[in-house]
Amino acid sequence: MGDRAAAAGYRERGSWPATFDSLWRALEARHGPSEAARQMVDVLVFCRDLGAARVELAARGALSAGALEGGAVAVLARQNDRIAAEPLSDLPDRLAASVRPEPDLSGYDALIGGAR
């Protein structure tokens, strides 16, 4: 079964959003039909691994940003998989203060020849 026929099968099952057509056309314009088809297969694998809704949202983001690569879709889809850093605790009082003074950038301003 060809790549377009596989896409038609996904459409019939209701699991091929219009965003994927837009992505495929953009990939074809940038990379040619063969590479676009390969990258769309990768996008479908992401759907299996991460969920179709999450990948569709990532594809929209990639299209909006002009990041026309299957890899960009993967990066955006996996954003929420990153482990959040643990909040720092047991800091000395001088480091734990939540209000910080604004830095004095007058020396920098003088170097670039102007004030902010």
Residue-wise pLDDT for 67-106, tens only, equals 999 999 999 999 877 666 777 777 777 666 667 778 888 8
Measured at the alpha carbon of residue 19, what is the angle toward residues 13 and 24, in degrees to the nearest 5?
Answer: 95
Domain containing 14 equals: 3-81
Is position 111 within any domain? no
Is position 110 within any domain? no
By three-state DSSP, how is residue 109 classified?
helix
Q: Are 56 and 19 in contact (CB under 8 A)?
A: yes
- Overall number of domains in the chain: 1
- The pTM score is 0.61
Is position 50 within any domain? yes
Is position 101 within any domain? no
Is position 102 within any domain? no
Is position 89 within any domain? no
The CA distance from 95 to 99, in Å, is 10
Is position 103 within any domain? no
Is position 51 within any domain? yes
